[in-house]
Amino acid sequence: MVTKKNFSLFWLGLLAACFSAYCQAEIEPVQQLKTFLANTRSLTADFKQVLLNEAGNPAQTSHGVFYLQRPGKFRWDYQKPFQQQIVSTGGKVLFYDSDLEQVTIKKLDESVGSTPALLLSGDIPLEHNYNIERQGNDGSLQWLKLVPKDADSTFKYLLIGLDKGSLSGMELSDNFGQLTRIYFSNIKLNAAIQPSVFDFQPPKNADVFSE
């Protein structure tokens, strides 16, 4: 059964969805991914997230907006079917659930291990944390498979789809037998993002838990 707290379990994996290539389509997908890390400073996109159960059937669909400001800042704004924010800034990650009126704060550091969140820093080569495999083409999409080298990672693999050097979609397989698919649209690269987007202040009536 899919519950709201599932979102906080795979958020690290979802972060890798923003790391598409910003270069020419004929360049190898792995190099496209590396070029993005070197050249992209910000990203804004609408997203559709679909959780699939063990039978491969859609269990829950969510919609929202994703923001990235490198280095180290991101925000997932879940808007439908319920509101939730996941915000990273100042070396911390905050999870806010408006229905539960609850905020959970975690430290973003080496404790995240080989998760895709580490890509936010741009300081560690992809090969340091992942085995990277080219998965071929599906129409105009070129697919990459990232398999974490850390056996304790929270996910089994991550697929990233690139369409002419731009992010199109991704699929995350976690250790609970659940698949998460993300579809991005209205992508804006290197556009200015207001600093207030990442300045999240817990509501006064919210319970705050720090780990």
Whole-prediction pTM = 0.78
What is the pLDDT, as a whole number, of residue 164? 73
* Structural domain harbouring 140: 6-210
* Phi, psi angles (nearest 5°) of residue 53: -80, -175
Q: 111 pairs with which residues across the strands? A: none
Write the CATH number for 127. 2.50.20.10
Could you give the CA distance from residue 66 to residue 42 in angstroms, rounded to a whole number?
11
Q: Which residues contact 175 (CB under 8 A, 6 or more apart)?
A: 153, 154, 155, 156
Could you give the CA distance from residue 186 to residue 204 in angstroms, rounded to a whole number?
34
The rounded average pLDDT for each run of 10 residues, N- to C-terminus, in the chain (211 residues) is 56 48 52 75 91 82 91 88 87 88 80 49 68 80 84 81 78 82 89 92 87 72
What is the pLDDT, as a whole number, of residue 7? 55
Could you give the CA distance from residue 88 to residue 104 in angstroms, rounded to a whole number?
12
DSSP characters for the chain? ---TTHHHHHHHHHHGGG----S-TTS-HHHHHHHHHHH--EEEEEEEEEEE-TTS-EEEEEEEEEEEETTTEEEEEEEESS-EEEEEETTEEEEEETTTTEEEEEE-SGGGTTSGGGGGG--S-HHHHEEEEEEEEETTEEEEEEEES-TT-SEEEEEEEEETTEEEEEEEEETTS-EEEEEEEEEEES----GGGG-----TTSEEEE-
What is the pLDDT, as a whole number, of residue 152? 74
Task: Please report whether residue 121 resides in a domain.
Answer: yes
Task: Please report whether residue 1 resides in a domain.
Answer: no
Contact between 210 and 105 under an 8 Å Cβ cutoff? The reply is yes
What is the pLDDT, as a whole number, of residue 46? 94
Task: Please report whether residue 193 resides in a domain.
Answer: yes
Domain count across the chain = 1
